[in-house]
Amino acid sequence: MKKVTIPDVVAMKAKGRRIVMVTAYDAAFARIFDEADVDVILVGDSLGMVVLGFPDTLSVTMEDMIRHTEAVARGSKRAHLVADMPFLSYQTSIPEAIRNAGRLLQAGAAAVKLEGGRSMEATIRAIAQCDIPVMGHIGLTPQSIHRMGGYKVQGKTDSQRERIIDDAKAVQDAGAYSVVLEGIPTALGDEITALLSIPTIGIGAGVHCDGQVLVMHDFLGMFDDFMPKFVKRFTELRKPVRDAVDSFSREVRDGTFPGEEHSF
Ligand code: KIV
């Protein structure tokens, strides 16, 4: 079983092989996704929302990311592992950004992801020059929720479109080996994918990206109150989980569990 490396991910664009990326936050799911042959596992700072129950990603800390990156690293042997840099771990200064990026590699990631384009160019360059591979993230950047006024599709106007194209060029020029395009029109995803030599991985960015990523709780159907247009639920896990816990409760209450076969 060969580990997926950064040259492998980069080569997928040239080969026209679409990149499959999913999020994971613990060893158990990382093991399943790894066995399923996904190319990239992302320990996303979506952790804050889907696991820790915060309304956005802004409360996630480096300690949270390190703990969950270590867990995912223990569960995965083959997939390329990327860890998100959380809010305030890279914006305050370049030395702090390098140190925090390095801590995520020490936790088991092979690369870090950070949000921002032209404004993060110097930071991406400095981290990448330390041989810490960087995946960019532009378009709808959840850590900028307050500037954007919510989770809104970006790049609909001409000026926004120009800015996102400029962000894409900046991220590539700074040395990122790939970039996530989030929440932009399909045509813009197509244009950026054709423009860049590094792979683009889309979430709500249309079918023309070099790969696709989804948050695991979304494609597994774990929530019944969150269904944005870009999400496809490939199963509905919430229902069997709910049914199982209902059955357990019933059997505990009526005394049928544990039976003889579960007793010593
Ligand atoms: O945090 C995350 O899960 C992400 C993906 C949505 C790309 O950044």
Distance of CA 26 to the CA centre of its chain: 13
Say whether 23 sits in a helix, a strand or coil: strand
Distance CA 151, CA 231 (A): 14
Residue of minimum CA distance from atom 5 in ligand 1: 44
Residue from 180, 181, 212, 226 to probe ligand 1 pocket by mutation (most atoms less than 8 Å from CB) = 180
> pLDDT tier at 32 (50, 70, 90 boundaries)?
very high
Residues constituting the chain:
264
> pLDDT tier at 193 (50, 70, 90 boundaries)?
very high
Residue 31 CB contacts under 8 Å (≥ 6 apart), including other chains: 75, 76
113 Cα nearest atom in ligand 1: 8
Say whether 20 sits in a helix, a strand or coil: strand
Tell me the catalytic residues. Answer: 182
180 Cα nearest atom in ligand 1: 7
Q: Is the CB of 180 within 6 Å of ligand 1?
A: yes
Query: CB of 185 within 8 A of CB of 136?
Result: no
Packing angle, helices 186-195 and 158-173, rounded to 10: 30
142 Cα nearest atom in ligand 1: 8
Q: Is the CB of 45 within 6 Å of ligand 1?
A: yes
> pLDDT tier at 1 (50, 70, 90 boundaries)?
confident
Distance CA 199, CA 37 (A): 19
Averaged confidence pLDDT in the chain: 97
Mean pLDDT throughout 58-86?
98
pLDDT at 82: 99
- Of 82, 100, 43, the C-alpha closest to 199 is 82
Task: Quote the ligand 1 centre to 17 CA distance (angstroms).
Answer: 21
pLDDT above 70 covers a percentage of the chain that reads 100
- Is residue 74 scored above 90 in pLDDT? yes
Residue from 81, 84, 114 to probe ligand 1 pocket by mutation (most atoms less than 8 Å from CB) = 84
Q: State phi, psi for 76 to the nearest 5 degrees.
A: -120, 140
Residue 185 is encoded by which pair of tokens?
């029109």
Task: Quote the ligand 1 centre to 131 CA distance (angstroms).
Answer: 23
pTM: 0.97
Longest dimension (CA), the chain: 70
Task: Quote the ligand 1 centre to 45 CA distance (angstroms).
Answer: 6
Mean pLDDT throughout 7-20?
98
45 Cα nearest atom in ligand 1: 1
Note if the bond before 258 is cis, omega within 30 degrees: yes
Query: CB of 118 within 8 A of CB of 170?
Result: yes
pLDDT at 244: 98
Dihedral through CA 35, CA 83, CA 110, CA 116, nearest 10?
130
Residue of minimum CA distance from atom 3 in ligand 1: 44
The amino acid at residue 214 is L
No. of helices (H) and no. of strands (E), the chain: 11, 8
Integer Rg of the chain from CA: 20
Distance CA 42, CA 68 (A): 11
pLDDT at 236: 96
